[in-house]
Amino acid sequence: MHDRSPSRRRKPPSPDGRARNDRERQRRCRARSKAGEKRYVIVVRENRLTESLRLSGLMTEAELSSHALVEAALSRLVTEWMARWLK
């Protein structure tokens, strides 16, 4: 067993499970990195984005209320755009 320095001591898990969530988030981040993926942040006007997704038929009004679904739709759009231009 390796000895850890006092500065590397692990914190006890928080009662709300935050430490476990942090580890899971870190695991997903490492997996994305290993797969050659990187997360990007874009800034857009929400009302224009949601209106565009709705008018294009990519998402329904009900789906637009979920931030995760909007992110997934944007990811699919960018992936399709890359595939089209990189053929």
Q: Give the rounded distance of the alpha carbon of 19 from its chain centre.
A: 19
What share of the chain has pLDDT > 70, as a percent? 80
| Res 20: pLDDT | 78
Q: What is the pTM of this model?
A: 0.66
Helices (H), the chain: 18-34, 46-55, 67-85
**Mean per-residue pLDDT over the chain, rounded:** 86
